[in-house]
Amino acid sequence: MTFQDKLRAAAEHNRSLLCVGLDPDPALLPAPVRGQDNPTLHFLKHIIDATADLVCAYKPNFAFFGALGGRAWPTLKATLEHIPPSIPVLLDAKVGDIGNTAQQYARMFFEELGADALTVNPYMGLDAVAPFLAYPDKGTFLLCLTSNKGAEDFEQQQLPDGPLYLRVARKAVEWNTAGNCGLVVGATQPGAFAQLRQHAPDLPFLVPGVGAQGGDLEAVVRHGIDRRGGGLLINASRAVLYAAKGPDFAQAARTAAAQLRQRIQACLPA
Amino acid sequence: MTFQDKLRAAAEHNRSLLCVGLDPDPALLPAPVRGQDNPTLHFLKHIIDATADLVCAYKPNFAFFGALGGRAWPTLKATLEHIPPSIPVLLDAKVGDIGNTAQQYARMFFEELGADALTVNPYMGLDAVAPFLAYPDKGTFLLCLTSNKGAEDFEQQQLPDGPLYLRVARKAVEWNTAGNCGLVVGATQPGAFAQLRQHAPDLPFLVPGVGAQGGDLEAVVRHGIDRRGGGLLINASRAVLYAAKGPDFAQAARTAAAQLRQRIQACLPA
């Protein structure tokens, strides 16, 4: 089953375009999990159990696992194994390297870890993307227009035929021969959604920035939805993970996820 | 001691602008190390022992360690601990993320692992770079103009005031207030060295691509050298690491490193 098929099935089954980002920051873990042998893993298992019927995907953030040092790999692996096989896993590692190195990452993330999709930084061009696209069943999401202020520094700079981020989107469409390419488009740039959807009608968009960063959810859904009423993975991390810090943290995460799913559904065309 | 000072001291002491890249590919390890408990670590210790007086820096490639799965972190840590403290370590991870995530990487690589410098992908702009620049004693090398063919796709695209890579170099100079910024400039683009050195007279350049990728060493050194006769870390990985596959692999690596150091010295102005 390809990533795209798995994503569509999960989105339809759970009636959800919500993607929950798994960013386990040790400093923010709720008190009740801190005494556990592996607090991060314990925490994430509860979060997954509480939200798995409300999401279209999970997005573990590689850096937050990497910071666990020697426990990074086993914790990430056990977290992915705990996610129900029907829910796709989009690993957020923003890798950007070429040739042999990119192949190492592809093998590590797609084969050893079993992730269904990956975020990739396109700066170095096709050589940095092709080793991932070579896996037709896996999703490769290129950073396009991100939700941070620094997007002005390079991404939004004007080339002769439009801003740099639009060139990334055009290239993604060109490189999408196996139907396995996606884009990362920040919710804080709602004005760009109609433009990007026009140029990339069939690519899924991973959309960070609706939570803490304050993006405009309604504009994102209205302009970002694809022709089949999908194609969006609207990500929330902290707003779900850290909805409460006491013993009710998992229930609070479920409530936050359910509310966000509902807010997204309410923006969909009738 | 800052990264820049450490780099200059090592380059002067060893009379070398050669940086050896540590890319331990399990498929390429010489036969004699394969029976060891940790073949990668065993191999790299021998390579380091054989070359530490010939280099200005080592550049471990994070992806090659990451591919070791559960042994990734301990192997990388033990490798760095084996490098003499007088030789700076530039970790090649090409990270590119923002805020909290970038801070996690900075803590992981600079604090826990003790790397002296790091490669960073600038696509997301200042937010993706600032958390690393916040460490004044550590080096932050921005991908600028890389040695791969895909550099055409985005890096070499023309903005109103020059190609994208030149804007990255200008921004690096602007962001270099603590004197801790560097650039990655591929040896396969010798024509750009004079231009980049003119715009960034004081930034160190990490230069991949002289070995297998066939860059023009003489042009790189002539146009890339800074006013003090330094500012270049000319990287070779495979040409040194895998110079021989038999029991003489470490001696062969030493010979290859010595020859390359000599070829670089021969290009320096008298």
Task: Quick: pLDDT tens for B226-245.
Answer: 999 999 999 999 999 999 99
Q: Does B101 touch chain A (CB under 8 A)?
A: yes
Task: Show Cβ contacts of residue A35 under 8 Å, excluding neighbours closer than 6 positions.
Answer: none
- For residue B165, give the CATH number of its domain: 3.20.20.70
Q: Do B73 and A70 touch (CB under 8 A)?
A: yes
Mean pLDDT of B29-55: 96
Residue of chain A whose Cα is closest to the Cα of B167 = A154
CB A107 within 8 A of CB B67: yes
- pLDDT value at position A213? 61
Task: Show Cβ contacts of residue B177 under 8 Å, excluding neighbours closer than 6 positions.
Answer: none
DSSP state of A125: -
Parallel, antiparallel, or unpaired: how do β-strands A158-159 and A162-163 relate?
A: antiparallel
Residue B79 confidence (pLDDT) above 80: yes
Closest residue by Cα to residue A91 from A112, A68, A113, A71: A113
Q: Do A100 and B25 touch (CB under 8 A)?
A: yes
DSSP string, A159-189: ETTEEHHHHHHHHHHHT-TTS-EEEEE-TT-
Enclosing domain of residue B142:
3-267
Confidence of residue B213 (pLDDT cuts 50, 70, 90): low
Task: Quick: pLDDT tens for A78-88.
Answer: 999 999 999 99
High-pLDDT (> 90) share of chain B, %:
84
Task: Show Cβ contacts of residue A246 under 8 Å, excluding neighbours closer than 6 positions.
Answer: A30, A31, A32
Please give the structure tokens belonging to residue A10: 């999960």
- pLDDT value at position B212? 60
Parallel, antiparallel, or unpaired: how do β-strands A181-185 and A205-207 relate?
A: parallel
Please give the structure tokens belonging to residue A63: 């850096």
Q: Does A100 touch chain B (CB under 8 A)?
A: yes
Residue in A67, A105, A124 closest to B63 by CB: A105
Residue B19 confidence (pLDDT) above 80: yes
Interface test with B, best of A64, A123, A181 (most B CBs within 10 A): A123
At which residue do the structure tokens 């170099």 appear? B169
The angle, 0 to 180 degrees and rounded to 10, between the axes of the packed helices A164-174 and A191-199 is 30
pTM: 0.95
Strand partners, B235: B19
Q: Do A108 and B67 touch (CB under 8 A)?
A: yes
Say how far apart CA A141 and CA A132 lie, in whole Å.
Answer: 10
**Could you list the active site residues of A?**
94
Q: φ and ψ at A111, to 5 degrees?
A: -90, -55
Please give the structure tokens belonging to residue A186: 């920040």
Residue of chain B whose Cα is closest to the Cα of A238 = B100
Please give the structure tokens belonging to residue A241: 């993970």
High-pLDDT (> 90) share of chain A, %:
84
How far lies A181's CA from each of A4, A17, B90, B222, in Å? 9, 18, 32, 42
**Type of residue found at B147:** S
At which residue do the structure tokens 């359910």 appear? A258
Residue A122 confidence (pLDDT) above 80: yes
Say how far apart CA B57 and CA B20 lie, in whole Å.
Answer: 7
How far lies B170's CA from each of A94, A106, B196, in Å? 24, 33, 9
Please give the structure tokens belonging to residue B111: 């604090």
Structural domain tally of chain B? 1
Say how far apart CA B97 and CA A147 lie, in whole Å.
Answer: 11
Q: φ and ψ at B141, to 5 degrees?
A: -100, 115
Please give the structure tokens belonging to residue A214: 């304050």
Residue in A73, A151, A168 closest to B69 by CB: A73
CB A147 within 8 A of CB A208: yes
- pLDDT value at position B66? 76
Q: Do B66 and A112 touch (CB under 8 A)?
A: no
Task: Quick: pLDDT tens for A200-246.
Answer: 999 999 999 887 666 689 999 999 999 999 999 999 999 999 999 99
